[in-house]
Amino acid sequence: MTTPARITFAEVDIDPIAQTAGKVAVLVGADGKLDKGARRVNALMRKALERFVQSERFAKMKAGDAVELAFPANMAADGVIVAKTQNRSDVDEARKTGVSIAKLRGTGPLLVIAGTAVRPSDIALGIALRGYSFTDHKKDKGDAVGDVTLMVSKPEDASADYVAKAAVAQGVFFTRDLVSEPANVLTTTEFANRLVALQDLGLKVEVLEEEELEKLGMGSLLCVGLGSASPSKVVVMQWEGGNKDDAPLALVGKGVVFDTGGISLKPAGGMEDMTMDMGGAGVVAGVMKTLALRKANANVVGLVGIVENMPSDRATRPGDVVTSMKGDTIEVINTDAEGRLVLADVLWYAQERFKPTGVINLATLTGAIIVGLGHENAGVFSNDDTLCNAFLKSAVAEGEGAWRMPMGQAYDDMLKSQVADMKNVGTRAAGSITAAQFIKRFIQDGMPWIHLDIAGTASIKEDSAYAPKGATGWGVMSLNRLIADTVET
């Protein structure tokens, strides 16, 4: 990614406003009242701000929206950004305000006169999240963005609040970087190496290589990578910030660095998108990074299955029967339903080794979830109302779309196989639900569990609320909040 903007908080001071280059942003409530900083801008602009605020255009703006008044009189700035506020204590509105300002800011310096904003650190987070771009493989990386200063009434408090928010932004950026990388760069080995580097932040990281995975009996996960020159791996990341004896929460991610479909080859059109098929693992990695950066008071273990799904003379064939670590046999009807094969073994291993309090897995698992929910909501599948409702609440608070889907015996029945304990696909009907039912077979009795199908939300072709088009980092914020609200107490 390009170097993110440096964000600092300062005392409200009207003196430097006229000399500030780049953009100056002001927040104005729906009542149109101008605070001290805005009044200064208005005076410099010969009341142009006041005229705008009294106009029909301002009246029609929604809370969190912003417009730019170009080339203000008597100011060094080349634009004044006016953001409309309504409910200043609303997290989502504060972040959207930041996003709207970031969209208009250009690359020069930015001064935000936030004044008495209740959540300046969330405005800053919005600016940071929207400012991301992935230019690693471009010759022209664009101009570095200028520094951001937020003038606020309590700069020390805002700075202190922003420490945890900056950790979230770093985690989201880590996820976006991983998801954005092409598969020839982010090979299974490179992915594992980038996770091992998280050790510097105090995480314990282990890489289980193929030999160990074979010993553990992970025949389901291993069958996916047989066609690839890149070795399959499981990476275990442990954050031990909680009480020594408390069992951890487990996060498990699908990390298919590229999904050709294998012998059940995908059509050519759009196959390049399958470079994001490690999105679930990317989110797990992003959350672990955030927890470490903000030194979360919780025990969380992140496990990712990293494989590449390629066709070759050694690849798994449709009709092959493999044995999972759990001991159940699986008839592989379709080698393109590979994510669930990876998750089955990593989930089993996570439960056997860590006896976690709960398990949450993330995967770009099915095209069918995009048919059902589009790119607005991830599919949420769960066996536990308490954990599920807590997650949905966190997702609402963070503005990340999530929608619970049904499960049940009738769907599970669709996985019956003639030759093995189960097959890896159902029929075309309810494709996302049968995928969830498959995974559920590898969840131990009584274990609270959530499966998040993020095929529609991990990477999208249009700008979303907090992200420019491409990798979103969906889920990092919600999971971080879930951990903050339910594990750290």
Report the catalytic residues: 266, 340
Of 68, 93, 259, 331, the one binding Mn ion (CB under 5 A) is 259
Nearer to ligand BES, 155 or 367 (CB): 367
Of 50, 177, 181, 277, the one binding Zn ion (CB under 5 A) is 277
Q: What size, in residues, is the chain? A: 489
Phi first, then psi, for residue 140 (nearest 5°) are -90, 105
Name the segment binding Zn ion (CB under 5 A); options: 51-59, 116-124, 125-133, 339-347: 339-347
Q: What is the DSSP string of 303-340?
A: EEEEEEE--STTSPPTT-EEE-TTS-EEE-S-TT--HH
Q: How far is CA 89 from CA 84, 95, 100, 210, 361, in A?
A: 14, 11, 17, 50, 32
338 is an interface residue for ligand BES by CB under 6 A = yes
Q: How far is CA 416 from CA 91, 185, 382, 423, 437, in A?
A: 46, 39, 21, 6, 11
Interaction residues for ligand BES, span 245-284 (CB under 6 A): 259, 277
Minimum gap (Å) between residue 273 Cβ and ligand BES: 6
Per-residue x/- marks for Mn ion, 290-329, CB under 5 A?
----------------------------------------
Nearest CA among 483, 473, 477, 399 for reference residue 174: 473
The residues with which 113 forms a beta bridge, in sequence order, are 26, 151
Tell me the residue nearest to ligand BES as measured from the CB. Answer: 367
Minimum gap (Å) between residue 32 Cβ and Zn ion: 51
> How many chain residues interact with ligand BES (CB under 6 A)?
15
Partner from Zn ion, Mn ion, ligand BES, none contacting 368, C-beta within 5 to 8 A by type: ligand BES
Interaction residues for Zn ion, span 219-258 (CB under 5 A): 256
Structure tokens at 403: 């929608």
Partner from ligand BES, Mn ion, Zn ion, none contacting 114, C-beta within 5 to 8 A by type: none
Structure tokens at 178: 């991983």
The residues with which 379 forms a beta bridge, in sequence order, are 403, 453
Whether residue 220 contacts residue 323, with contact meaning beta carbons closer than 8 Å, is answered with: yes
115 vs 145: CA distance, rounded Å: 23
Half-sphere exposure of 484 (CA within 13 A, CB side): 21
Nearer to ligand BES, 83 or 332 (CB): 332
259 is an interface residue for Zn ion by CB under 5 A = yes
Of 153, 367, 396, 404, the one binding ligand BES (CB under 6 A) is 367
Tell me the residue nearest to Mn ion as measured from the CB. Answer: 336
Per-residue x/- marks for Mn ion, 332-351, CB under 5 A?
----x-x-------------
Structure tokens at 8: 């600092």
Partner from Mn ion, ligand BES, Zn ion, none contacting 181, C-beta within 5 to 8 A by type: none
Q: How far is CA 118 from CA 85, 87, 153, in A?
A: 11, 9, 10
Tell me which residues touch Zn ion (CB under 5 A): 256, 259, 277, 339
Tell me which residues touch ligand BES (CB under 6 A): 259, 277, 334, 336-339, 364-368, 425, 431, 455
